[in-house]
Structure 1
Amino acid sequence: MRQMEAPTPAMPDAEACWDAFLRRDRGLDGRFVGAVLTTGIYCKPSCAARHPRRENMVFLADPQAARAAGFRACLRCRPDEVGRDRLAVEAAVAFIAAAETPPSLEQVAAHAGYAPHHFHRLFKRETGMTPAAYARSLRTERLKNALEEGGSVTGAIYEAGYNAPSRAYADAERHLGMTPSAWKDGGREVVIRYAERATSLGPVLVAGTERGLCRISFDEDVTDLRQRFPKAEILPADARLEGLAAQVEQLIDDPARPLDLPLDVCGTAFQQAVWAALRAIPPGETRSYGEIAAAIGKPGAVRAAGTACGDNALVVLIPCHRVLRSDGSLGGYAYGVERKKALLEREKRA
């Protein structure tokens, strides 16, 4: 799986750092530390300790700078371990990617130098996925790429690292929403139903398979859907999809509304981690692309995180509108900045 890498984001300004401490923002752990002048202790942003007064706090780029300035590490949040944990997760990701077959949790944890149960929690906290889920998604992505390159379906299955076709078909049904042969052939034998709704922010296309929603988009229609899946059977909505479309319309009016709708979207392990991080942003709050990259354990992959946001197939439901540029400006949005602004304003009112 190839990812575009960008330089590590610069340390936020002092006020942004203070805001991160007030929010106890785990996504910025490792980007800087806060040092308390009255106690001589430095902490990571997510530290659960009581906050000091603003005038008693200074911010430094990393633990080394804090120690050089005479501060000592907090024994509660252990800020020195953040870098070690992220290096361990990066090493585990590389180990999983290099393995011909998905390694066990014990093998991954041993490679990283941690106890299995502790590393399971650590890996999920940093990436939004368990090691096993990451390995499955990576293998499914290899299968998808092998199918797109041509050749036989059976050859693609074994090239992706599967020992048997049955496991490949089960994974493909879960992650691709269709069998390997259907994916290779433009959605052949897959039924996708659609509804077009007139919403307060403009026309919306809502489409789904029997498994769940596969597309929510502004300013698209059934023609666009057929271009995405040229060999799928595209049908008007049945009662089930009409019900889902009605809930999507309500969500556009009230994007802070909690909804748990069935999904059927495919993506790389990296994309799925980004989308999980987006859904974890509370309504009314925003994050920068750098914060999203840091939250999934890839602080250098800021541009790749932005690309994953742009690849989001479920507008509003996966709230990519909650991501801003590092300077706080709205940045881009696939369906227009005015819609992004309107969604954010509706969430803040709610």
Structure 2
Amino acid sequence: MSPGTYRQGGQGQTISYGVTDSDLGPMLVAATTRGLCAVRFGEPDALVQELRGEYPKAVLVEDTAPLVEYIAGVRAHLSGHTLPLTTDVPGTDFQRRVWAALRDIPVGETRTYAQLAEMIGQPSAVRAVARACAMNPVAVVVPCHRIVPKNGMKSGGQGGYRWGVERKAQLLEMERLQPLS
């Protein structure tokens, strides 16, 4: 999805979505015909409202049939198997570079924001990298949970996470116990 289409509230897009159970609680999965555009965790009604708020001009269709492969793929990610899932996420070139680098971090490992900035060749862009992580629309698939603050690595802290620090800790622990890919 182009940034322009996103800014227009998803006008002209049809997005299929569904809320299903996962090891991390209720999970919303949404996709256009081009790919996965949202993976979120939380309360089902709030997740759907957030999707409607983000894409007010898109046609939203509650239908998990076109999402079967995506749901299975996200569940595979949760069990330590990184599968190549096609995404259709709005983002700037910089955000896309950050999200691609996040996908290169091996399961069971973490990096700091500064290390991620180094990975994309922009060591002074630590704050912009942190913002790109916070804007990640496809949790788990783009594993922003693998980023921890520099001081957190020493003190055992994991930093914030859009879907809750408890979920982040659970994800990191799941990956630590089962680094399969």
- TM (norm. structure 1) is 0.47
Q: Distance in 2 between matches of 1:183 and 1:302?
A: 25
1:109-154, Cα deviation, whole Å (9 max, x unpaired): xxxxxxxxxxxxxxxxxxxxxxxxxxxxxxxxxxxxxxxxxxxxxx
Could you tell me which amino acid in structure 2 is paired with residue 237 of structure 1? D
1:265 aligns with 2:89: yes
Q: What secondary structure is seen at the aligned counterpart in 2 of 1:290?
A: helix
CA-to-partner distance for each residue in 1:160-209, whole Å, 9 max, x for gaps?
A: xxxxxxxxxxxxxxx518xx5x5564222211000101112111110000
Q: Does 1:316 align with 2:140?
A: yes
SS of the residue 2:150 aligns to = coil
| Equivalent residue in structure 2 for 1:186, among 9, 12, 17 | 9
Q: Does structure 1 residue 344 correspond to structure 2 residue 168?
A: no
| Alignment pair present for 1:221 and 2:47 | yes
Asked whether 1:243 is paired with 2:69, we answer yes
Q: 328, 334, 347: which is aligned to 2:162?
A: 334
Give the partner amino acid of 2:147: V
Provide the C-alpha distance between the structure 2 equivalents of 1:309 and 1:302, rounded to a whole number of angstroms. 11
Q: Distance in 1 between matches of 2:110 and 2:64?
A: 36
**Residue aligning to 1:208:** 31
Q: d(CA) in 2 for partners of 1:238 and 1:324?
A: 33
- Which gives a bigger RCO, structure 1 or 2 (Cα 8 Å, sep 6+)? 2
- Aligned mates of 1:238, 1:205 — CA distance in 2: 10
| C-alpha deviation, 1:266, in angstroms | 1.8
Question: What is aligned with 2:116?
Answer: 292
Percent of aligned pairs sharing the same letter? 44
Equivalents in 2 of 1:183, 1:345: separation in Å? 34
Partners in 2 of 1:325 and 1:271 — Cα distance? 19
Over residues 212-259 of structure 1, what are the superposed CA-to-partner deviations in whole Å (9 max), with x where a residue is unaligned? 00000111422211111111110012522133223323422x1x2120
Counterpart amino acid of 1:204? Answer: M
Runs of 4+ with deviation above 4 angstroms: none
* 2:69 match: secondary structure: helix
Partner of 1:283: 107
* TM-superposition CA deviations, 1:9-56 (whole Å, max 9, x none): xxxxxxxxxxxxxxxxxxxxxxxxxxxxxxxxxxxxxxxxxxxxxxxx
The answer for the alignment partner of 1:233 in structure 2 is 59
Tell me the alpha carbon deviations over residues 78-137 of structure 1, each in whole angstroms, 9 at most, x when there is no partner. xxxxxxxxxxxxxxxxxxxxxxxxxxxxxxxxxxxxxxxxxxxxxxxxxxxxxxxxxxxx
Q: Distance in 2 between matches of 1:323 and 1:238?
A: 30
Aligned residues: 171
| Bigger Rg, structure 1 or 2 | 1
Please, which runs of 5 or more residues in structure 1 have no aligned partner? Answer: 1-174
Give the Cα–Cα distance (whole angstroms) in 2 for the partners of residues 277 and 226 of structure 1: 29
More helix per residue: 1 or 2? 1
Q: Which SS does the other structure have where 1:202 is aligned?
A: coil
Residues 17 and 63, structure 2, Cα contact 8 Å, conserved in 1:
yes
Aligned residue in 1 for 2:126:
302
Inter-partner Cα distance in structure 2 for 1:249 and 1:285 = 19
Rounded Cα–Cα distance in structure 1 between residues aligned with 2:123 and 2:142: 21
Report the CA distance shift for 1:184/1:221 in structure 2 as closer, same or farther (over 3 A).
closer
Structure 1 distance, partners of 2:174, 2:61, is 33
Give, in whole Å, the separation in 1 of the partners of 2:112 and 2:82.
Answer: 22
CA distance in 2, matches of 1:222, 1:289: 30
- Matching of residues 52-201 of structure 1 within 5 Å: 175-176=1-2, 183=6, 185-201=8-24
Q: Contact 1:193/1:208 (CA < 8 Å) preserved in 2?
A: yes
Deviation of 1:332 after TM superposition, in Å, equals: 0.8
Q: Which moved more, 1:302-311 or 1:235-244?
A: 235-244
* Alpha-carbon separation, structure 2, partners of 1:218 and 1:297: 31
